[in-house]
Amino acid sequence: MRLVSTHVHPVKSLAGVDVDRATVEPWGLRHDRRWVLLRPDGAALTARTALAMLGLTAAPGTGSLTLTDRRGASLTVAEPVAGPPAPTAVSRLDTLRLAAGEAHDWLSDRLGQPVRLGWLDDPRRRPVSIEHGGRPGDPLNLSDAGPLLLATLPSLRRLRDWITEGARERGEPTPDPLPMARFRPTVVLDGPAEPFAEDGWSRVRVGAVDFRVAERCDRCQLTLIDPVTLTRGREPIRTLARHRRRDGKTWFGVRLIPVTTGEIRVGDPVVAE
């Protein structure tokens, strides 16, 4: 198997960028999910309730973040290393540092509601929970549960086949192939593996970097949103519920926790066990 794509989403629930190489840190890929939009009550705003978030792109820079909307307007925001701390309701975290006010205004205008942009200055302040496979000392960025999400193309191909078969059974037109972007993975693998073989893996090495498989990933309604049209449909949850339903949840991909750190590159060989 090989690493075929790597994805960084600097702001939780915003569109991210594809990268050819990435630095693995103890809490995830460098720049990945270090920012979050906060509602006035300190809770995180996500695309589950604000679809327009997926129409904004966040790209990392050196000590900065560049936000771009679909009209091409952009704003570069400095990491608020000395920004004021703000209380947050993000799990296992008490405060985040706030970006400059112009970032709040820019985002609030495009989302049609008041938001603030928060930055996690030190991911070591937020642990991976035991319920999600965390061990003492495992730090976490602003991802929901695990530092990285791994998905495989063999599993996606099988899911696409199931979706097509289901449409035929219902007498519906053949749908367009479901894009991997629906699942917002960090790393994507391809090679001679059985579909969903990753369910049984315990360790993965990408290039020279080792990871521990923390758990399978349960999928939420965010996967129902087309990231291009920003419309909500029934796939892939409808099909996953038919073929991949366990313990009242649907499953696709696995969460990883870094065991070592270093750089990974598209094309790197992958060994899983």
pLDDT digits over 16-69, tens only?
999 999 999 999 999 999 999 999 999 999 999 999 999 999 999 999 999 999
Q: pLDDT-based confidence at 119, cuts 50/70/90?
A: very high
**If DSSP codes are grouped into helix, strand and coil, which group holds residue 206?**
strand
Q: pLDDT-based confidence at 137, cuts 50/70/90?
A: very high
Tokens of 23: 């630095």
Cβ neighbours for 260, distance < 8 A, ≥ 6 positions apart: 24, 208, 209, 210
**If DSSP codes are grouped into helix, strand and coil, which group holds residue 200?**
helix
**If DSSP codes are grouped into helix, strand and coil, which group holds residue 199?**
helix
Q: What average pLDDT is seen over the chain? A: 97
**What is the predicted pLDDT for the residue at 46?**
95
**Torsion from C-alpha of 139, 141, 147, 153, nearest 10 degrees:** -170
pLDDT digits over 144-154, tens only?
999 999 999 99
**What is the predicted pLDDT for the residue at 157?**
98
Q: What is the pTM of this model?
A: 0.96
**What is the predicted pLDDT for the residue at 135?**
97
**What is the predicted pLDDT for the residue at 100?**
96
